[in-house]
């Protein structure tokens, strides 16, 4: 028995280091396909897979290898199931890297218990909890969405510059919403702003009239909504407009997307918000690509997902192999300056430069630039709803 066990562990270890054998490379796409954000994840996964396909179709990746995405369910909330799914990806499917996970809770569990110990990188497109900045990740955890701490500051500045002195705040009751509400609250108060009421809302629950009632009773003219555009956040805005409670909205990144305007209509005109990314060519190129591929282009975190996928493919090329540790060592190089700037849809170009020994600076859909701990610095754009779409006003 012992021998058998030994033999098979050996076998697994061998495949772990030499997965690139054959003409396929597997990459895990670990997102919550079931559970609270099950409605967001299919588009996020499709977006990452779009980047993989682009790399594969170019025929340039590691001399013509194809990336095979392997989806696994993080459930968003069940750390135990997410850990098992990640373990399956790493030790059984033999993936080279993980694009994921999504919610901050399971992301922390997977990073600490599976990815870091096994020396596999994770690039999360959506875990924004400031707490993840301080995990012991040995350089294996990256995220393409900025930490909430920064956005709160930017949003507070935007409001001050517009002369808005008092807001009511509602946030989705999870680490994203709460973290953002905290950081926004402290930043806003420093400059003399006043928050008349802070009320949490739960996503996917029955009714939001109580929240709207309480928020409106506090007497502010502006309502800041830190939630998701197809979840409770939308429900709150709809209910506020329906009951005439608020007409002016302040939106955080999770709320910004054309589908919100489609759902709410012209009443949303004048709403201001912040979203990660610069007014780059990249963002609009990506949107056209996503639309063509049938992906909700403005859904939360889809651009970030594409970038996470693209970074993995590019780092692999830079490393010259699908070896896990080698990929890790190249992420910073391909993501950061110096080098030729790479936009969405230009993965082939990037692969080509890398294979000839050049250096690239991946910009992507969301203007990726990592700091020393593998987090995007977070340029935010200030947007306003004008004429039925979000228009970029200024870059912060």
Partner 1 sequence: MTDVFNAIILLSNFVIVPGLTYGSQLALGALGITLVYGILRFANFAHGDLMAFGTMVAVLITWWLQSMGVSFGPLPTALLALPVAIAVTIAMALFTDKAVYKFYRKKRSAPAVFVIASIGVMFVLNGIVRFIIGPNDQRFSDGERFIIKARAFKQITGLNEGLAIKVSQGLTIGITFLLVGAPFWFLQRTRTGKAMRAYSDNEDLALLSGIDPERVVMVTWIIAAALATIAGTLYGLDKSFKPFTYFQLLLPLFAAAIVGGIGNPLGAILGGFVVAFSEVGITYAYKKFLGYLVPESWEPDGLLQFLSTDYKFAVSFIILVLVLLIRPTGILKGRVI
Partner 2 sequence: MSNAQRSALAFAIMAGLLMVVGFSQSWPLMLTILNLCLISSLMALGVNIQWGYAGLFNVGTMGFAALGGVAAVLVSKGPVPEAWAAGGWNLFMAALLFVLTGAAAIVAYRPIPKGPLRVLALSGIIIIGIFAIRYFSDPAIADIEAVNPTVTGYLGGLGLPILFSWAAGGLFAAGAAWIIGKITLGLRSDYLAIATLGISEIIIALLKNEDWLTRGVKNVAGLPRPVPFEVDLQKSEKFIGWTEWLNSNALEGLTASERGDLLSALVIQHSGIFVKLGYAGLFTVVLVAVLSLSVMALNSPWGRMMRAIRDNEVSAAAMGKDVTGRRLQVFIIGSAVVGIAGAMLTTLDGQLTPGSYNPLRFTFLIWVMVIVGGSGNNLGSVLGGFLIWFIWIEAEPVGVWLIDFATGWMDETSPIRIHLMGSAQHMRLFMMGLVLLLVMRFNPGGILPEVTKARTQKEIDRD
Stretch of 50-58, 149-157, 204-212, 315-323 lying at the interface with partner 1 (CB under 8 A): 204-212
Say whether residue 9 binds partner 2 (CB under 8 A): yes
Which parts of 134-257 are beta strand (E)? 141-143, 166-172, 194-201, 222-226, 248-251
Residue 332 burial by CB count (10 A; 0-12/13-18/19+): exposed, middle or buried?
middle
Stretch of 171-179, 298-306, 338-346, 364-372 lying at the interface with partner 2 (CB under 8 A): 171-179
Stretch of 103-111, 228-236, 353-361, 369-377 lying at the interface with partner 2 (CB under 8 A): 103-111
- Residue 253 CA, chain-centre distance (Å), reads 10
Say whether residue 72 binds partner 2 (CB under 8 A): yes
Say whether residue 120 binds partner 1 (CB under 8 A): no
The residues facing 24 across adjacent strands are 66
Say whether residue 216 binds partner 1 (CB under 8 A): yes
288 binds, among partner 1, partner 2, none (CB under 5 to 8 A by kind): none
Say whether residue 315 binds partner 1 (CB under 8 A): no
Site for partner 1 (CB under 8 A): which residue of 221, 242, 358, 394?
242
77 binds, among partner 2, partner 1, none (CB under 5 to 8 A by kind): partner 2
Lay out the site mask for partner 1 across 168-187 (x = CB under 8 A, - = otherwise): -----x--------------
Say whether residue 38 binds partner 1 (CB under 8 A): yes
Closest to partner 1 by CB, 256 or 342: 256
Q: Secondary structure of 69-94 in the HEC alphabet? A: EEEEECCCCCHHHHHHHHHHHHHHHC
Which parts of 126-247 are beta strand (E)? 141-143, 166-172, 194-201, 222-226
Nearest distance from C-beta of residue 228 to partner 2, angstroms? 14
Site for partner 1 (CB under 8 A): which residue of 11, 14, 80, 210?
210
Q: Cβ neighbours of residue 213 under 8 Å, at least 6 residues apart?
A: 243, 245
Stretch of 4-12, 156-164, 258-266, 274-282 lying at the interface with partner 2 (CB under 8 A): 4-12
Distance of alpha carbon 199 from alpha carbon 272, whole angstroms: 20
Distance of alpha carbon 262 from alpha carbon 124, whole angstroms: 28
Nearest to 121 by CA among 96, 145, 103, 102: 96
Cα–Cα distance list, 396 to 145, 155, 163, 392 (Å): 16, 9, 17, 11
Pair type for strands 272-276 and 380-386: antiparallel
Closest to partner 2 by CB, 205 or 221: 205
Site for partner 2 (CB under 8 A): which residue of 132, 237, 289, 295?
132
27 contacts 96 by C-beta, under 8 angstroms: yes
Site for partner 1 (CB under 8 A): which residue of 219, 270, 294, 388?
219
Say whether residue 332 binds partner 2 (CB under 8 A): no
Distance of alpha carbon 176 from alpha carbon 179, whole angstroms: 5
Stretch of 122-130, 200-208, 278-286, 312-320 lying at the interface with partner 1 (CB under 8 A): 200-208
Distance of alpha carbon 384 from alpha carbon 369, whole angstroms: 25
Closest to partner 2 by CB, 6 or 291: 6
Distance of alpha carbon 256 from alpha carbon 218, whole angstroms: 25
Count CA atoms closer than 13 A to 13's CA, side-chain side.
6
Pair type for strands 222-226 and 248-251: parallel
83 binds, among partner 1, partner 2, none (CB under 5 to 8 A by kind): partner 2
Nearest to 276 by CA among 161, 103, 121, 126: 126
The footprint of partner 1 (CB under 8 A) covers: 34, 36, 38-39, 42, 173, 197, 199-202, 204-207, 209-214, 216-219, 230-231, 235, 239, 242-245, 263
The footprint of partner 2 (CB under 8 A) covers: 5-6, 8-10, 12-14, 16-17, 33-34, 42, 71-73, 77-81, 83-85, 87-88, 90-92, 104-106, 108-109, 112-114, 116-119, 129-132, 134-136, 138, 149, 173-175, 177-179, 182-183, 186, 200
């Amino acid at each position: 028995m012992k021998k058998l066990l030994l033999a098979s562990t050996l076998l697994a270890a061998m495949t772990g280091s030499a997965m690139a054998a054959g003409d396929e490379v597997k990459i895990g796409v670990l997102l919550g396909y079931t559970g609270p954000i099950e409605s967001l994840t299919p588009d996020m996964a499709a977006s990452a897979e779009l980047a993989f396909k682009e790399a594969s179709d170019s025929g340039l990746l590691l001399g013509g290898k194809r990336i095979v995405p392997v989806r696994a369910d993080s459930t968003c909330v069940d750390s135990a199931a997410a850990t098992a799914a990640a373990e399956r990806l790493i030790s059984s499917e033999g993936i080279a890297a993980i694009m994921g996970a999504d919610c901050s809770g399971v992301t922390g569990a997977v990073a600490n218990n599976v990815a870091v110990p096994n020396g596999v990188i994770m690039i999360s497109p959506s875990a924004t909890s400031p707490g993840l900045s301080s995990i012991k990740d040995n350089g294996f955890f990256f995220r393409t969405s900025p930490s909430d701490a920064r956005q709160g500051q930017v949003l507070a500045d935007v409001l001050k510059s517009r002369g808005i002195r008092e807001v009511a705040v509602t946030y989705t009751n999870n680490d994203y919403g709460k973290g953002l509400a905290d950081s926004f609250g402290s930043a806003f108060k420093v400059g003399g702003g006043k928050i008349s009421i802070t009320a949490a809302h739960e996503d996917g629950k029955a009714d939001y009239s109580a929240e709207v009632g309480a928020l409106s009773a506090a007497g502010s003219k502006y309502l800041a909504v830190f939630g998701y555009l197809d979840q409770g956040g939308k429900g709150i805005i709809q209910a506020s407009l329906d009951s005439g409670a608020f007409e002016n909205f302040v939106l955080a990144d999770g709320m910004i997307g054309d589908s919100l305007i489609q759902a709410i209509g012209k009443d949303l005109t004048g709403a201001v918000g912040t979203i990660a990314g610069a007014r780059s060519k990249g963002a609009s190129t990506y949107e056209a690509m996503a639309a063509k591929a049938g992906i909700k282009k403005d859904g939360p975190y889809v651009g970030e997902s594409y970038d996470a996928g693209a970074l993995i493919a590019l780092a692999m090329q830079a490393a010259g192999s699908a070896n896990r540790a080698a990929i890790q060592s190249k992420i910073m190089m391909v993501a950061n300056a110096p080098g030729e700037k790479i936009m969405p849809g230009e993965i082939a170009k990037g692969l080509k430069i890398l294979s000839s020994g050049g250096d690239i600076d991946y910009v992507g859909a969301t203007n990726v630039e990592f700091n020393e701990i593998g987090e995007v610095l977070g340029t935010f754009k200030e947007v306003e709803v004008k004429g039925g779409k979000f228009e970029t006003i200024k870059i912060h």
